[in-house]
Amino acid sequence: MDRIPILKFGDALLVTIQVDMHDRLATALEEDLTSKIVSHNAKGVLIDISALEIVDSFIGRMLDNIAAVSRILDADTVVVGMRPAVAITLVELGLSLSGVKTALNVERGMALIKGRLAASEHADDDVED
Amino acid sequence: MTTLRTERLEIRTSDDVVRARQLTRTMALECGLSLVDQTKIITAASELARNTLDYGGGGKVQIDVVEAGGRRGVRLTFEDHGPGIADVETALKDGFTTGKGMGLGLGGAKRLANEFWIESKPGEGTKVVIARWK
């Protein structure tokens, strides 16, 4: 079965969705990401959906699930690159992706994750002091 | 109303849901829908195709490019011979689901289309028609 590649990028995992995903592929990505967060000790997950022409309720639920599971595993999920037409359609569909952080592009998404990492390291310093 | 082009597709697997999206896109492009309108009708098609597969046990879709009063549009007709929907009004409410989804499919598809029509008989099946006009 096809798999969507997951790349390691510093402390984060980067997923670029470039194909029109069928449902099984989306489910496989959810499972793969969960195990890689643990095996790579990842602190963040960046999902680039700039190539996606639509996000329907199934993909929306997948993004919500990934964000929820990664949060429990102490990693932040940021969805980047959503097309404006996709955002308009998602809201009308009734999906607000309230549990998912979003950023306009990969750079800003990475900055979000790094910002959180820096903040938590700073908090650790405070405890040591 | 004149029909300018008609395509048909069987919906038996989740790959067919992808095909239904792609065919809807082709037809939406052909009738000149804006990018946002294309995205809306493709998303609605995806929701309804998945409903046909998951709840109807498979079925078919007919996609038409239509013209009426000088306007073009794309019309989709989904049909299955599954268990049918006992209470259509409740099924249209957000959050109502008998399956594993979020319960946005039917109501969401209705919001994303300009026209929505549904007929369902328990034990016989379900037919849903949506249209998006330029």
Compute the distance between CA of residue A54 and CA of residue A56 in angstroms, rounded to an integer. 6
Average pLDDT of chain B to the nearest whole number? 93
Interface mutation vs chain B, best among A1, A19, A25, A93, most B CBs within 10 Å: A93
Instruction: For each of the domains in chain A, give its residue range(s) and CATH number, in order of start.
Output: 6-128 (3.30.750.24)
Q: Given the structure tokens 């109502």, which residue do they identify?
A: B96
Please indicate whether residue A2 or residue B128 has the higher confidence score (pLDDT). B128
Q: Which positions in chain A touch B46 (Cβ < 8 Å)?
A: 54, 56, 58
Any A CB within 8 A of B29 CB: no
Secondary-structure breakdown of chain B: helix, strand, coil percentages, each rounded to the nearest 5? 35, 35, 30
**For chain A, how big is the Rg over CA atoms in Å?**
15
Dihedral of CA B113/A67/A113/A106: which sign? negative
This prediction's pTM: 0.91
**In Å, what is the CA distance from B121 to each residue of B12, B85, B102?**
21, 6, 23
In percent, how much of chain A has pLDDT > 70?
A: 95
CB B75 within 8 A of CB A61: no
For B45, the token pair is 């098609």
Does B129 or A11 have the greater pLDDT score? B129
Size of interface A-B (CB pairs under 8 A): 70
In this prediction, residue A2 has a pLDDT band, given cuts at 50, 70 and 90, of: confident
d(CA A87, CA B79): 29
Q: In the prediction, which pLDDT does B12 show?
A: 97
- Residues of chain A with C-beta less than 8 angstroms from the C-beta of B14: 22-24
Cα separation, B19 vs B113, in Å, equals: 19
Tell me whether strands A44-48 and A76-80 are parallel, antiparallel or unpaired.
Answer: parallel
The ipTM estimated for the assembled molecules is 0.90
Where do the domains of chain B lie? Answer: 2-133
**How far, in Å, are A57, A69, A78, A101 from residue A114 at the CA level?**
30, 20, 11, 14
Q: How confident is the model at residue B49 (pLDDT cuts 50, 70, 90)?
A: very high
pLDDT in tens, B70-118: 999 999 999 999 999 988 888 888 777 766 665 668 999 999 999 999 9
Q: What are phi and psi of A3, to 5 degrees?
A: -135, 150
Question: Helices (DSSP H) in chain A: which residue ranges?
Answer: 23-39, 57-72, 84-93, 106-128
Half-sphere exposure of A78 (CA within 13 A, CB side): 23
What pLDDT is recorded for position B102? 59
The model's confidence at residue A1, banded by pLDDT at 50, 70 and 90, is low
How many beta carbons lie within 10 A of that of residue A53, not counting itself? 17
Give pLDDT, residue B97.
73
For residues A118 and A124, give the distance between their C-alpha atoms in angstroms, rounded to a whole number. Answer: 10
User: What would the pLDDT profile of A108-127 be if each residue is shown by its tens digit?
Assistant: 999 999 988 888 777 767 66
pLDDT per residue over A35-75, tens digit each? 999 999 999 999 999 999 999 999 999 999 999 999 999 99
CATH superfamily of B2-133: Histidine kinase-like ATPase, C-terminal domain (3.30.565.10)
Q: pLDDT > 90: what percent of chain B?
A: 83
* pLDDT range class, residue A90, cuts 50, 70, 90: very high
Q: For B54-76, what is the mean pLDDT?
A: 96
